[in-house]
Amino acid sequence: AQKVTQAQTEISVVEKEDVTLDCVYETRDTTYYLFWYKQPPSGELVFLIRRNSFDEQNEISGRYSWNFQKSTSSFNFTITASQVVDSAVYFCALSEANQGGKLIFGQGTELSVKP
């Protein structure tokens, strides 16, 4: 069965600290896609990144970076030099190729960045 686990419910850091949000997934499919979304207090889910199961290259986008490791079924997200505007709930999600685009979300990690 497909499942996404975000073990960290809440994380609190001070501005400029680095922070890593963990995501572990389960799937039987060989073709699948992983996503990270940000949900600020306004409620809108903002797309951050998509990786497919055949591409294990890590990715960096500004202060954001993602570490995809199939061997451990993990897709972790690191924010470098965190800022107050990074405060939000972050969701990791999984989509399998033959499931009509259905996103299976983890429970989310609430990140609080204090000044």
Q: Which is nearer to another protein, 15 or 65 (CB)?
A: 65
> Shortest distance, CB of residue 16 to another protein, whole angstroms?
28
**54-83 binders of another protein (CB under 8 A):** none
At residue 106, what is the residue type? G
Q: CA-CA distance, 8 to 22, in Å (whole number)?
A: 7
**24-53 binders of another protein (CB under 8 A):** 33, 35, 37, 42-47, 50, 52
Interface pick for another protein out of 68, 79, 108, 113 (rule CB under 8 A): 108
CB-based contact 69:85 (threshold 8 Å): no
Of 75, 83, 78, which Cα lies nearest the Cα of 57?
75
> Shortest distance, CB of residue 114 to another protein, whole angstroms?
20
Q: Which is nearer to another protein, 36 or 113 (CB)?
A: 36
> Shortest distance, CB of residue 59 to another protein, whole angstroms?
11
**Which long-range CB contacts under 8 A does 46-52 form with residues at least 24 apart?**
48/77, 49/77, 51/75
| Residue 79, Cβ density class (10 Å: 0-12 exposed, 13-18 middle, ≥19 buried) | buried
Interface pick for another protein out of 67, 74, 80, 99 (rule CB under 8 A): 99
Instruction: Give the interface with another protein as residue ranges (CB under 8 A).
Output: 33, 35, 37, 42-47, 50, 52, 91, 95, 97-103, 105-108
